[in-house]
Amino acid sequence: MAVEEDELHGDILEAVFAHVPLVHLVAAAAVSGEWNDAVSASLRYLKPPRPWLIVHEQSTRAPYSISARAYDPRSDIWIDVPSPPMDWSAGAYHLDSSNSGFLFAHGGSRLRFSSDALNFEWRDLDPPAVSRCDAIVARVGDFVVVAGGAWDFEDDAFAVEAYDLKSGERFDCDSMPLSDGDSGNLTSLSVAVAGEKSLVVASKETGVTHWFDPETRSWSGPSKLAPDVQLISRYLIGCTNQGLVLVGVCGPENIKVWRIDQRNSGRPYEIGEMPPEFARKVKSANFGYASLNVAAAGCMIYLYNDTWDVQEVVACELLAGGGCGWWSVRHVAAREDLIGIRLVYTCSEVGIEELRSALRTGFSYYRNFKKTGKIV
């Protein structure tokens, strides 16, 4: 009888923990071995963590303050997150992100990048040899790759250099194989890291894609992301637990998702289509989808429009059994009040181990929980 009561108690705990925000489960798991087991079982079987969308705000005016908020889809809340532990007051460093899971700060005498999911731990690198603005900066395995964005007319606009994080060596690589009519700036390119081995760069306008291998310091391609549809006006790529995915704008209120089969010449397979009511939520009344972007990790793709009049973010969950689940959440930032503010988006897989690790390194964490007003 005692065994049955213990089992029932464990089941009840697991069910209760399924309704507790992930950030509170760290403390709950520390209560006892039984509670720790119940937290683990609840996260594994009842309500697993899902990747967070993190929105970073940096003022473009003194004192150049930084703030960040994270959306936890498991708990359906926005959470205030402490800013990165560095001095921003001089205004020398500008926060940015080229691909979904990599946050960096450039300017001054160093290139800095975050090495953890919650952007608490940072590493410094020597500045790139080529002066750059709006460049691609991405981590590919044990390398940090810096590509494009060269602004000095004497420099190659498509220049590429990389840092070996094991040896500390910086080396020049083959330039991006773009045509003279292309821009080497991040604004016109969509970037993903495939399998921690390759940097994938696609034109947002044409879908022409190139692959960079930092081991060989060389590029392959071009290939065209060409799903079997009449017209795509905007191509956006990301890396998920189903591999490389393409999000394409196919019409006024038509957005589709494809999985790119890298073993079959990059052939796209459609896996989902955004319901029109959600496509309208990320469309600017003035600029349409011209500033639509994605942040992706694990099973999640977040679609956001970087214009002031779009008030919601659309979430796409890649379902294990196939297809997609869709919902929208109100944007945490008051967009009309963002004059003088830059927004940078990242997406990270955050679980209880990441939270524990952050706490061990002195992460003073969350406050101001805010329900999202999730719309399904």
Lowest mean pLDDT among 54-58, 293-297, 329-333, 359-363: 359-363
- The enclosing H or E element of 26 equals helix 22-29
Tell me what pLDDT residue 367 has: 47
pTM: 0.92
> Which is it for strands 341-348 and 367-371: parallel, antiparallel or unpaired?
unpaired
CA pair distance 197, 114, nearest whole angstrom: 19
Q: For residue 171, is pLDDT > 70?
A: yes
Tell me what pLDDT residue 5 has: 40
Over range 164-175, report the average pLDDT.
95
Q: For residue 93, is pLDDT > 90?
A: no
Summarize pLDDT for 233-247 with one digit per residue, the tens.
999 999 999 999 999
DSSP string, 208-277: EEEEEETTTTEEEEEEE---SSS--SEEEEEEETTEEEEEEEEETTEEEEEEEETTTTTEEEEEEE--HH
Over range 6-35, report the average pLDDT.
85
Over range 249-254, report the average pLDDT.
91
* Higher-pLDDT residue of 267, 216: 216
Summarize pLDDT for 56-76 with one digit per residue, the tens.
988 888 777 888 889 999 999
Q: For residue 82, is pLDDT > 80?
A: no
Q: Under CATH, which number does the domain 49-371 receive?
A: 2.120.10.80
Count of C-beta atoms within a 10 Å radius of residue 231: 9
CA pair distance 218, 69, nearest whole angstrom: 37
Tell me the domain boundaries of the chain.
1-48, 49-371
Please classify residue 356 by burial: count the beta carbons closer than 10 Å to its beta carbon, then call 0-12 exposed, 13-18 middle and 19+ buried: middle
Over range 342-361, report the average pLDDT.
87
Phi, psi (degrees; rounded to nearest 5) at 172: -80, 150
